[in-house]
Amino acid sequence: MNKVELAEQFISKQLPNFQCPICKSNFTEVQSGTLICVNNHSFNIAKKGSLFFLNAPVNTEYTAEMLNYRHQFLTAGFFTPMMEQVVSNLNGGLILDAGSGEGTTTKWMAQHSNGDFVGLDISKPAINIAGSGIAPVPYPLFMVGDLAHLPFADHGLDAIVNILSPANYSEFDRTLANGGVLVKVIPGNHYLQELRHLVYPNGKHATYDNSLVKNHFIEHYQDVQFSKLSYEFPLNSELFTALFNMTPLTWQARDRKDAILNTGLKKITAEFEIGVVRR
């Protein structure tokens, strides 16, 4: 099957769990590459097998070049220990990777855990990269959408994964099923600390404090259980170049890019706090 047919198969299996983001009604059918709701709003499946649920493209600061560097860095295994811990909390069903970026995390989870995975991101260039290449097995569905208007029915998701990405907790609450699980990954205070110290040896950017993000999450989900994971990831010159170019941490240091790349790093700290909420 081609990617459009694979996407149709995926959507047909999970059709009752999707919802039109325009009118909030049910989808009635998917055929000939088109998803149609009760009120005749239609969404065409692209040749890459992805869906576009926005009224118009949204410009973000993440360019295709940055996303390709991110893909290079993540496929080298930077997130693997963290992802192993994430999927240990999942139990199948329909699972949303909310803020999936260029799809590396979604594909990894689909290959290492049971369930039907959907990767959603507001960036069309990110989803274009996610849908490129040979269709992975198992096949995850990718879509361009807004976290504020998730295209899923009330309580239609068995799990939501939110990795280093913005969140919309009201929509997470609406779409997460009873008995479902929400896994949110936030950077630890020492995340990428070697790069931070190299790029910003002093000043407000020299340190990072995750308390604002963490406390906001705890305020919404008082029963969250957090665990911390920290490890070092080895770098060569190619991976360091990819790291420098993929992260917003270096955006204000572009004028010093050549000097920083010439200095380089041999390792980088990966530190995460993983919050799990069971409904």
Query: What is d(CA 65, CA 242) in angstroms, rounded to the nearest whole number?
Result: 10
Say whether 103 counts as a known binding-site residue: yes
The partner residues of 276 in beta bridges, in order of sequence, read 183, 225
Say whether 10 counts as a known binding-site residue: no
Cβ-Cβ contacts under 8 Å for 191 (sequence gap 6 or more)? 208, 269, 270, 271, 272
Say whether 149 counts as a known binding-site residue: no
Closest by CA position to 227, among listed 78, 82, 74: 82
Say whether 240 counts as a known binding-site residue: no
Place of tokens 């496929």: 75
Q: Exposed, middle or buried: residue 25 (CB in 10 Å: 0-12, 13-18, 19+)? A: middle
Say whether 142 counts as a known binding-site residue: no
| Cis peptide bond prior to 138, omega within 30° of 0 | yes
Say whether 200 counts as a known binding-site residue: no
Please report, in range form, the residues annotated as the binding site: 20, 23, 37, 41, 79, 102-103, 191
Please report, in range form, the residues annotated as the binding site for Zn(2+): 20, 23, 37, 41
Please report, in range form, the residues annotated as the binding site for S-adenosyl-L-methionine: 79, 102-103, 191
